[in-house]
Amino acid sequence: MPTGSLLADGFTEKIAKAFEDDLVGLSFRYRYEFVDEDDFAKDANASTLRTRLSIAPRLTNWGFLVEVDNVSFIGSDRFNSTRNGVADRPIVADPKGTDLNQAFIKYTGFEDTEIILGRQRINRINQRFIGGVGWRQNEQTFDSISIAHSFTDRFDAYYSHIAEVRRVFGPDSGVPAAKLDSNINLIDASYNFGSKAKLFGYAYLMDFDDADALSNISVGARLTGTFELQESLGLSYAGEFAYQEDYGDNPVAYNANYYLLEASLDWTPISLKAGYEVLEGGDAPGTAFRTPLATLHIFQGRADEFVVPGTFGTPADGVRDLYLIATVKALKGRFALAYHDFSSDINSSTLGTELDFAARWSFADHYSVLLSYATYDADTFSFDSRKAWLMLTAAF
């Protein structure tokens, strides 16, 4: 065999082993997103591809990660990406470009402790307050130092200081801003009493240097648990309360509360969930409860009617969301159907209703397909809209 072939075979084997050992990761995520909103004469048709390359060498007690994303348009950009100047079509916030998504050093040499320094993904509990917005092609990550410690097998604590938020609108500058300089401190802890009760408490102090109106402090607690009623039948619950007020240089003095009650009946392979979520409103703009760093697509409906780039994300009168969600595993996939009834916290006026559908299949360990549809019927908030998605993912 020629020497060149031996070298090529050796190189190929090293590359294959790097993927097997998770030292190198490569993924492709294609998504077609269609948006039909009644306030636009033209629809949005967004065909985008995200390519992600990650390199993660490891040493004893040390870990390193460099992750680079590229978002490209497939075909013409008949949508408003927030950067392409297409103002006569609805927004699909997936601007093109190449970005350093994550780059950090991790140290695990202290017992039951993990320290991460650098640009990193931060997802706290259910991402209602802090999340990576993984639904968008350009993920939200944070330049920060974070420390996680387990005091016992039941009691965990976490702290993070964030100096800059790298938002989904990057990497190019523009409006809304691609990044926010900040002085943010996240503190949370959880105690596991067993399967029937887990308590999670948090204090999130968000001070944005260049977005003063978003600055807030939120203090709250979340209780979750599961009861086994009989074989293959379980009842899960979640309850949460948070208090929020202005913080840092926020020019508006306000306070508002957050409430959540949720119950789920799980009977394999079917799950039925009912929930009621309240983000309180106020008597003036900027006084409603807001969650500027949340992964919002998984809350208040897939149509994202309450996710408006550059705003507080919550109407001044607040939002009450009464929802029902049914999921079933069938045909080698997972199907979900959800109904949302939105009303304002102030005056209890009807904002609108929404119906969502999603179906997902995973196969051959590396591939997945998602089909999703959402229709929002406006009453006193926003406009009627219909959105559909096809997403294909390959990850190695």
Contact predicate 323/274, CB 8 Å: yes
- Using alpha carbons, list the distances in angstroms from residue 369 to 16, 45, 252: 25, 19, 45
Domain ranges of the chain: 3-395
**In a structure prediction context, what are the per-residue pLDDT tens digits for the chain, which is 396 residues long?**
454 554 455 555 655 566 666 799 999 999 999 999 999 999 999 999 999 999 999 999 999 999 999 999 999 999 999 999 999 999 999 999 999 999 999 999 999 999 999 999 999 999 999 999 999 999 999 999 999 999 999 999 999 999 999 999 999 999 999 999 999 999 999 999 998 999 999 999 999 998 999 999 999 999 999 999 988 899 999 999 999 999 999 999 999 999 999 999 999 899 999 999 999 998 888 899 999 999 999 999 999 998 865 556 788 899 999 999 999 999 999 999 999 999 999 989 999 999 999 999 999 999 999 999 999 999 999 999 999 999 999 999
- Residue 230: predicted pLDDT: 87
The total of other beta-carbon atoms located within 10 Å of residue 128's CB is: 20
- Residue 9: predicted pLDDT: 57
Task: Look up the CATH architecture of domain 3-395.
Answer: Beta Barrel (2.40)
Q: What's the CA gap between 52 and 59, in Å, rounded?
A: 23
Task: Enter the pTM of the model.
Answer: 0.92
Angle 275-295-237 from CA coordinates, rounded to 5°: 25
- Residue 7: predicted pLDDT: 47
Q: What's the CA gap between 329 and 157, in Å, rounded?
A: 34
- Residue 11: predicted pLDDT: 55
How would you class 222 by CB atoms within 10 Å of its CB: exposed for 0-12, middle for 13-18, buried for 19 or more? buried
- Residue 45: predicted pLDDT: 98
